[in-house]
Amino acid sequence: MNRFNAEKHHQRNVLHTLLLVCSMSLLLAFSVYLLFGWNFWLCLLAVSTVLVITLRLLPTHWTLQIYNARRLSYQEAPELYRVTQILSQRAGLNRVPELYWIPSRMLNAFSVGDETRSGVGLTHGLLNTLTHRELVGVMAHEISHIAHNDTRLMALADIISRLNYLLALTACLMTLLLMPMALLGLVDLSLLALMLLVLTPWLSGLLQLKLSRTREFAADLQAAHLTGDPMGLASALSKIDMGERKGWQRILVGYQQTQPSLLRSHPATKERIRALKQLEAPVHSQAIEEVKHWSHTPAHSMGIQRPRHRIIMGVWR
């Protein structure tokens, strides 16, 4: 693997993460100052700490139950668990993530939890579409998220964004309540401060999306390092991207999503594949070579269905 490119990407991702988290925190501090002054900052910090600790204590299977996921036993997928164990050891995890089967035709995988307890959800469609080599790349990507504590980091970013939204909402409500007094000249209302408070949640949301894209690039880089096969993950990303398109979109050659990159939680697939090609290695990893055959589809009585929307924090696609 090209170590120069890998080190360059790693340093850039770490720098971007630090800048984005610091920027979101400063926006929150600025909102608190405009609305309540600095005296309220310690109280807000305490509330944020409690929320982060609470999220950490929530069982990982609670999140997976939203998708009707069922835990796979070692007997159902021994080779897949063996690959997961190898990748977990390479990533420095003390515990191997539990694997869950999700009854959905969509091509998707996501990780929950952190180094102490974690799980990886794999959809029925993903297991039946990807090759062994591609599935190893996806598993390495999700394990990289767990090793980097990306789920907890994004939960923290989500809390900051929600607090910024609550502060902006509070400012609007206080303005409405105090408007009669302001018209009588009894209180002073700063329209500039109100406009800044209203804009803060939008800026925080954009920073959160940028942070998510940065962590995706970092997970791709780490996955390529774990497997020694960047193109395995690149091939999987291409299939997943094609699977997310509608039928008429697949027919149109060169069709691309019209959603601006600024509003995407994940980088464009072409950008991710381009970055992985810069890390292309001539040999496959031991983890890939050890995977010979396994049954992609576990026996289960559930019908295949579309998953529900994500409604709580702590899920990483």
148-169 burial: b if 16+ Cβ within 10 Å, else e: bbbbbbbbbbbbbbbbbbebbe
The single-letter code of the amino acid at 103 is: P
Three-class SS state of 138: helix
Q: How confident is the model at residue 237 (pLDDT cuts 50, 70, 90)?
A: very high
CA distance 300 to 302: 6
Residue 4 has what pLDDT?
53
Q: Please name which of 14, 288, 294, 269 lies closest in space to residue 140, comparing C-alpha atoms.
A: 288
Q: How many CB atoms lie within 10 A of CB 75?
A: 8
Mean pLDDT of all residues belonging to the chain:
78
126-132: average pLDDT: 92
CB burial string 7-32: b at 16+ within 10 A, e below: eebeeebeebbeebbeebeebbeebb
112: left (phi over 0), alpha (psi -120 to 50) or beta: beta
- Top-confidence residue, 64 or 289: 64
Hey, which bits of the chain come out as E strands? Answer: 70-71, 98-102, 109-113, 118-123
Grouping H, G, I as helix, E, B as strand and the rest as coil, residue 113 is strand
- What is the pTM for the complete model shown? 0.77
Q: Where are the alpha helices (DSSP H) in 246-301?
A: 247-251, 269-277, 286-289
Check pLDDT > 80 for residue 145: yes
Tens of pLDDT, residue by residue over 28-46, are 888 888 887 777 767 767 7
Task: Dump pLDDT digits (tens) for 65-100.
Answer: 788 889 999 898 898 999 999 999 999 998 999 999
Q: What angle do CA 192, 16, 64 make, to 5 degrees?
A: 95
Instruction: Transcribe 162-176 into DSSP letters.
Output: HHHHHHHHHHHHHHH
**pLDDT band (50, 70, 90) for residue 250:** very low
For 187-228, write each residue's pLDDT tens digit.
777 778 888 888 899 998 899 998 999 899 999 999 999 998
Residue 133: predicted pLDDT: 92
Choice between 283 and 16, residue whose per-residue pLDDT is larger: 16
Structure confidence by residue, pLDDT tens digits, 254-273: 445 555 666 677 888 999 99
